[in-house]
Amino acid sequence: AVKEGPAGLPSSVSRLGSAMSVREPSQSGALSAASRSPCEAEEAAPGRCLSLLPWDRFSAWLHCVCVVGFDLELGQAVEVIYPQHSKLTDKEKTSICYLSFPDSNSGCLGDTQFCFRFRQSSGRRLSLHCMLDQLDRDLPVSLKKDPAYYYGYVYFRQVRDKTLKRGYFQKSLVLISKLPYIHLFHTVLRHIAPEYFVKNEPFLEAVCSDVDHWPPPVPGKTLNLPIMGIIMKVRIPTCHDKPGITHVVQFTHQEDTQISIALPTVHEVDLFRCFCPVFFHIQMLWELVLLGEPVVVMAPSPSESSETVLALVSCISPLKYCSDFRPYFTIHDSEFKEYTTRTQAPPSVILGVTNPFFAKTLQHWPHIVRIGEIKLPGEVPKQVKVKKLKNLKTLDSKPGVYTSYKPYLNRDEEIIKQLQKGVQQKRPAEAQSVILRRYFLELTQSFIIPLERYVASLMPLQKSISPWKSPPHLRQFSQENFMKTLEKAGPQLTSGLKGDWIGLYRHFLKSPNFNGWFRTRQKEMTQKLEALHLEALCNEDLLFWSQKHTEVEIVDLVLKLKNKLFQADREHLPMKPDTMEKLQMHIDAIILALPDDLQDILLKTGTT
């Protein structure tokens, strides 16, 4: 019979030989990192984690800054990349070139701001700082970095210039980042781009130097970010913030007299302004985004397309939209063929487009949102019916939603009346956006709470966790068992909306958004079980246990405990603060009770 040690794994003599060749991890480093918050760790060890190389602080915020110009022979071309050591593949440069200019039909004279999102080339990993991964863990799920994508934030200028052959000056200043902080980076560009177009490269170098002096993007802290003579004061949200509560950045201290801009948000768009053209369909659009349906937004310019796509993605917050989305998509995009093919069903993706060509190539898509130039209404919008897809001929078609989709839920007339009243009373757009954001939040929470409650019931009872056995597994998710809970504990407890909630849940359970949400919950609960198992181990007298067992079994126990300690630190398990320390003390006490030769081996032996 195979014996089980307290770590819940079979004993094995062979583990000792194989483990001797493995490098010893720094246990003291593991302990100190695990027992600190990211803020404390950053402050306690800036040299170790955050100032290893020049441009490390810059890299925490931006991958690089690009200047894209128009060459008569080459077309759009990347003229400058800064810092110069920044790496972009040829494919990435091509994507940036085409996505940094509006389509020629947009007629964007003057200055235009928008954003895009593009795939990082496969086979190339971004080297992220040790602390940045930890910072990412403390972000709300919707703001976590996606390792496969970059964002591009654009300030495009097109003005008449008779000295140039084309008769126009056309250039874009582009910030490339992994961070989805649209409001922050658009604010930066509004401040620096006009001056850059006059002063050129030396000015750009000074801008990048300023960013390289920014503190790390620590969630939950108020940060002062100097940029070319002004200071922006921002707060990055954390996963611990209560949903729907915005932490207002205020001027509190005397030294704040030099602060020039306090940003109310780093990532939110003007929700009400974006949804104005499709005012009466907000609830149906929420369902389409929730279910991961293919949606294309057709707009007159990249500004409107990118803001509307980002507004759609954010309307299911705090749920993360788990499919692909492209705030601005062009016919030159590397995924153009993949996303426009008629040989298979359209993928789960939200595209923002401006080229009239898409009215033809995407007319087989099931849901098309057509918006005109976004401006806040001075009068109450007239009710607009959902239009049939066959009526969408060109990009000149009237604004509206073109789909044959029938919503599962009845329309909430109250939110429509509330927002209409706001228009009549000239309520500020910011206040209208707050009302709309709260409405979406409450709708999403009413939908997700029954799922959260059911998934929590899959967690084994704490009394079933024994230090002498492996941690128990989560029970399987059963769609039918979940559906049975809805009768007594469904969304009707928090929402007055009537309709086919059951049908909406059945559809959602097949969607990428459910898969992404459930995988995250599964991982969190499994880590919690591992943490509870470690806490149970720490409460045992392991030294007393070791006195009753053979040296082979004791060595096996030590190796397994070291392995658990290393994994707990690497995965940042949600444990009580002193658990890691207690576990290390158990390991030290057991080793000290062994003969000297074994002590030497075990002190030098680590684990992977």
pLDDT band at 317 (very low <50, low <70, confident <90, very high): very high
CB of 353 within 8 A of CB of 395? Answer: no
Q: Is 378 exposed, middle or buried (0-12, 13-18, 19+ CB in 10 A)?
A: exposed
pLDDT band at 123 (very low <50, low <70, confident <90, very high): low
pLDDT band at 467 (very low <50, low <70, confident <90, very high): confident
Residues 395, 396, 397, 398, Cα dihedral to 10°:
120
Residues 136, 455, 324, 268, Cα dihedral to 10°:
-60
For residue 595, list its beta bridge partners.
none
Residue given tokens 């980076």 in the structure block: 185
Residues 143-164 have a mean pLDDT of: 90
Stronger pLDDT, 569 or 15, i.e. the higher one: 569
Instruction: Of 31-40, 44-53, 103-112, 324-333, give the range with the top mean pLDDT.
Output: 324-333
Give CA–CA dist 259/263, Å, rounded: 11
- pLDDT value of position 9: 44
Tokens representing 102 are 């509006």
DSSP state of 325: E
- pLDDT value of position 383: 57
pLDDT band at 48 (very low <50, low <70, confident <90, very high): very low
Residues 20-45 have a mean pLDDT of: 36
- pLDDT value of position 572: 81
> Would you say residue 355 has pLDDT above 50?
yes
